[in-house]
Amino acid sequence: MAIETEFTPLASAFGGALIGISAVLLLYSNGRIAGISGMVKRLIAPAADGRPEQALAFIIGLIATPFVWTAVTGSAVAQTVSENIPLAAIAGLLVGFGAAFGGGCTSGHGVCGLSRFSKRSLVATIVFMAAAALTVFVSRHIVGGGA
């Protein structure tokens, strides 16, 4: 499953900047953190001031993205997703549970939290980055035999 991908510093930095613009827009207008696991949580387990309709609108924007992308550029979104169904189910459960239990994911802790110099988010980001890198190392270089 390990295929080589091209190093794209400019496109990646530009895409990152767009993520930043979205995060700033959201704090400026609604006073909210652009954390995706938090948005889903607001949607499926609405809290008193959770404003689930706002989270829903944001998530619809996310889901609309590949369609808008293809309409504008004429090309499909390039991605390679594993077809290992049990792995997808287990990984999905772990990602959902872990992000919600730990109070955030790559966006909430990694981008928004680090941007406001939150100590909790710094710890969370170091832990999930290290755990993810270790998981890839074990699955590709120990269990997978370098595959």
Restricting to residues 76-95, name those near another protein by CB under 8 A. Answer: 76-85, 87-95
**Burial (CB count <10 Å: 0-12, 13-18, 19+), residue 33:** buried
Using rule CB under 8 A, residue 96 touches another protein: yes
Question: What span, in angstroms and rounded, lies between the C-alpha atoms of 47 and 6?
Answer: 42
Polymer length of the chain: 147
Identify which of residues 74 and 79 has a Cβ nearer to another protein in the complex: 79
Using rule CB under 8 A, residue 48 touches another protein: no
Using rule CB under 8 A, residue 59 touches another protein: yes
Question: What span, in angstroms and rounded, lies between the C-alpha atoms of 104 and 9?
Answer: 26
Using rule CB under 8 A, residue 75 touches another protein: no
Question: What span, in angstroms and rounded, lies between the C-alpha atoms of 138 and 147?
Answer: 11
Using rule CB under 8 A, residue 52 touches another protein: no
Q: Which of 11, 48, 71, 143 binds another protein (CB under 8 A)?
A: 11
